[in-house]
Chains A and B, each alone.
Chain A
Amino acid sequence: MPTNVIMPQLGESVVEGTVSKWLKREGDSIAELEPLLEVNTDKVDTEIPAPASGVLLKLLVPEGATVKVGTPIALIGQPGEEPVALPGAGNGQHHAATPPPVTPPPVTRKGDLGFISPVVAKLADEHKVDLYQIKGTGQGGRITKKDVLAFLETRTAAPAKTEAPAWEQVGDGDLFRPTELQFAGQGDKGQVITPPPPPVRPASPDSDFIPVEGMRKVIAEHMVRSKHTSPHVTTVFEADLSRVLAHLDKNQAAFERDGVRLTLTAYFIAAMVAAVKAVPLVNSQWTDEKILLKREVNVGMAVALEEGLIVPVIKRADEKSLLGLAREINDLAKRARGKALRADEVQGGTLTLTNHGVSGSLFATPIINQPQTAIVGVGKMEKRVVVINDAIAIRPMAYLTLTFDHRVLDGAVADRFMATMKTTLEGWD
């Protein structure tokens, strides 16, 4: 039996990848872990090693094609072996009348679709419906015929393809489910993903279409999903950064001798860590049954790129000194701009910082990076007139915001987090 090479999941919220280059041709010998292809996703570009040794029997996906995570993309086997795709790889039998397997081995009860009636199986097969996208309203939450018909009605997209190429057919089972569905709200099974509206024609010759693809498309999906998932609330604080700036001035040269450029971002992240220690609940994740409190403090920092945003993650920020933080910030930001981040470097964040002040913004209400609970925004630092002890003073001020998931936190708790951040920054020494 040949080994299936599948499109790997390159990042927590990555749902698809583009085969940018095959490094081997059909018939070539290949050793396990030898580079097989290059994959480009919205977050990272990376080489994928071969999962087994043998001969590359068949390439199922051409260069340039974008496929969902979990899709079989190549077959490795022994010389002369029949390149028979594994079930789910989209050979002819997929179109046979047999209903699709309806109970993928569930990791948790959440993955269980419940009883699937014959007519539901039949409709799902005929219309190529992913039943995980449908909210069941029947007994015990089972999906009824009506649920499927209602779902089909909302799906205004083109009629089901009769002859989709192999790489456009996603395999079955939990492994092959899009990451979004596996992790959405920790198995928020019921959520119906709203289908994309039909394309609109430009209203006049004076307007133009910009194709939406790659990172733009994924950002759009994530933003909409986050807003649909969490009730967002933003609280705004203002911090006097005099002492931070004084510390920065005093230590910049010493850091540079260590090859590190010290920036304000390192202070903000250090202040976030201090605030998490005071209010751990901010470093958490909502699930339908429980709030998942994260022990690790992994701070994502949003980096603006030409095509959009990427959020590399500083792992275990709570265990790092200012020097360590600054060094990692330098490195991640540089490699993010060079599109040289590794897949694991954009995963696992528990809290996010967006420093929108760099583009002049005073304060903003960012969108939460799911499935996290909160995101900290830092506005532009500028000298403002403030009143201190009934005297007028000129101080370097910046607005700090915390946008949080109101399911997890209430305003008072969020404000305690921000108050800690503020006092940490204002009392820096």
Chain B
Amino acid sequence: MAEMTLIEAIRAALDEELARDERVFITGEDVGKRGGVFRATMGLIDKYGPHRIIDSPLAELSIAGVGIGAALYGMRPICEIQFADFIHPAFNQIVNEAAKMCYRSDGAWTVPLVIRAPYGGGISGGLYHSQSLEAFFTHVPGLKVVIPSSPHDAKGLLKSAVRDPNPVLFFEPKKGYRLIKGEVPAGEYTVPIGPANITRAGTDLSVFAYGMMHYYCLKAAEVVAAEGINVEVVDLRTLLPVDRESVVASVRKTGKALIVYEDNLTMGYGAEIAAVIADEAFAHLDAPVKRLAAPDVPAVPFSHPMQDWFMPNAEKIAAAMRELANY
């Protein structure tokens, strides 16, 4: 097993899937010659040629539309949206076409499409390069929404996404591309879309997170562990469908729940997790269900002090853990 960064694991998954299945191709802005702005597809054009690694126009609606059309024709497209912030023009294609196709055709047609999109703040990207958009899409039945937080899961989940017969939105925490490192098995393995993963077992409270926030939650759990607070950290990994069972099982054990996400608080993904807990684990609660998220301002600010104020981090998470543990 080799240690890889998150972006290397994603590249490995793309490479393996391109090699495994001729129907797989990649399209997106600068994915070819340039190898993607984050270098996710670096070198792939040399290996698989420009007919499988296709530079697209600067038009997200077109990228999604091309992907959906190709998928309906039996291809396995992997579309890259350069920054999740640019996905909005493609919203109509994704929500109205990709998500509904199987249902609309009573299963006769499916859209085996993967849309990869780097998301998230804390990278001094300002308003248009920092957004977290998962909640827009987790509201849409017919889509699957996946966010890996480790190189191992990134490779295994992306391979599962490519093989899934229905559209999968694959959001990648871009701040973690080179920051998050971990062991990744060489060659074939997959991680199933669906189940959450307990990445740190604990008894005092459950913390649910995904992406970069999951990475920070593990750090914060370490800090408070030294103070005697035993936190269970659950990496949700698949946001849609929701792994209710894992969420409820963890809360039944600990009696307390904290949900951390870097999207702004109101109507964010954590609201659904909080509702699942209130609904299915009410009798097991020993404290109010808490959410730690970004403030409800229109965007992630560019100014560094303001960005720090906006972003949840390990310190803020540790403080929230302490408060809940002491409740």
Shortest distance in angstroms between A97's beta carbon and chain B's nearest beta carbon?
Answer: 9
A144 within 8 A of B: yes
8 A Cβ contacts from B308-327 to A: 326-327
List A contacts of B255 (CB < 8 A): 117, 119, 145
Q: Which of the listed residues A118, A119, A146 has the most CB atoms from chain B within 10 Å of its own CB?
A: A119
8 A Cβ contacts from A31-76 to B: none
Q: Which of the listed residues A118, A138, A146 has the most CB atoms from chain B within 10 Å of its own CB?
A: A118
B33 within 8 A of A: no
Task: Find the A residue at minimum CB distance from B286.
Answer: A145
B286 touches A117 (CB 8 A): yes
B286 touches A139 (CB 8 A): no
A118 touches B327 (CB 8 A): no
9 smallest A-B Cβ distances: which pairs? Answer: A145-B286, A145-B255, A117-B286, A119-B286, A122-B283, A119-B255, A118-B285, A119-B284, A118-B283
Chain A interface residues toward B at CB < 8 A: 117-120, 122, 138-139, 144-146
Distance between Cα atoms of A117 and B284 in the complex (Å): 9
8 A Cβ contacts from B100-139 to A: none
8 A Cβ contacts from B250-308 to A: 255, 282-287
List A contacts of B327 (CB < 8 A): 138-139, 144
Distance between Cα atoms of A408 and B284 in the complex (Å): 44
Interface secondary structure of B, over-half rule = loop
List A contacts of B283 (CB < 8 A): 118-119, 122
List B contacts of A144 (CB < 8 A): 286, 327
Distance between Cα atoms of A322 and B327 in the complex (Å): 60
A122 touches B326 (CB 8 A): no
Distance between Cα atoms of A119 and B251 in the complex (Å): 11
List A contacts of B326 (CB < 8 A): 138-139
Distance between Cα atoms of A229 and B287 in the complex (Å): 33
List A contacts of B285 (CB < 8 A): 117-119
Contacts A119-B286, A144-B286 given; 7 further ones with Cβ under 8 A?
A: A118-B284, A118-B285, A119-B284, A138-B326, A139-B326, A139-B327, A146-B286
List B contacts of A119 (CB < 8 A): 255, 283-286
Distance between Cα atoms of A429 and B286 in the complex (Å): 69
List B contacts of A117 (CB < 8 A): 255, 285-287
Distance between Cα atoms of A122 and B284 in the complex (Å): 8
List B contacts of A145 (CB < 8 A): 255, 286
Distance between Cα atoms of A304 and B327 in the complex (Å): 51
List B contacts of A120 (CB < 8 A): 286
Shortest distance in angstroms between A115's beta carbon and chain B's nearest beta carbon?
Answer: 9
Distance between Cα atoms of A146 and B282 in the complex (Å): 17
List B contacts of A139 (CB < 8 A): 326-327
Distance between Cα atoms of A323 and B67 in the complex (Å): 111
Distance between Cα atoms of A89 and B283 in the complex (Å): 25
Shortest distance in angstroms between A60's beta carbon and chain B's nearest beta carbon?
Answer: 31
Shortest distance in angstroms between B202's beta carbon and chain A's nearest beta carbon?
Answer: 13
Shortest distance in angstroms between B206's beta carbon and chain A's nearest beta carbon?
Answer: 13
Shortest distance in angstroms between A153's beta carbon and chain B's nearest beta carbon?
Answer: 14
Distance between Cα atoms of A120 and B284 in the complex (Å): 8
List A contacts of B282 (CB < 8 A): 118
Distance between Cα atoms of A122 and B281 in the complex (Å): 12
Distance between Cα atoms of A117 and B327 in the complex (Å): 11
Shortest distance in angstroms between A50's beta carbon and chain B's nearest beta carbon?
Answer: 42
List B contacts of A122 (CB < 8 A): 283-284
Distance between Cα atoms of A118 and B257 in the complex (Å): 14
Distance between Cα atoms of A146 and B228 in the complex (Å): 14
Distance between Cα atoms of A146 and B326 in the complex (Å): 11
Task: Find the A residue at minimum CB distance from B252.
Answer: A119
Shortest distance in angstroms between B211's beta carbon and chain A's nearest beta carbon?
Answer: 30
List A contacts of B286 (CB < 8 A): 117-120, 144-146
Q: Please, could you name 25 A-B residue pairs with CB atoms under 8 Å apart, sorted by A?
A: A117-B255, A117-B285, A117-B286, A117-B287, A118-B282, A118-B283, A118-B284, A118-B285, A118-B286, A119-B255, A119-B283, A119-B284, A119-B285, A119-B286, A120-B286, A122-B283, A122-B284, A138-B326, A139-B326, A139-B327, A144-B286, A144-B327, A145-B255, A145-B286, A146-B286
Shortest distance in angstroms between A86's beta carbon and chain B's nearest beta carbon?
Answer: 27
Distance between Cα atoms of A146 and B287 in the complex (Å): 12
Task: Find the B residue at minimum CB distance from A137.
Answer: B326
Distance between Cα atoms of A248 and B121 in the complex (Å): 96
Shortest distance in angstroms between B203's beta carbon and chain A's nearest beta carbon?
Answer: 9
Task: Find the B residue at minimum CB distance from A140.
Answer: B327
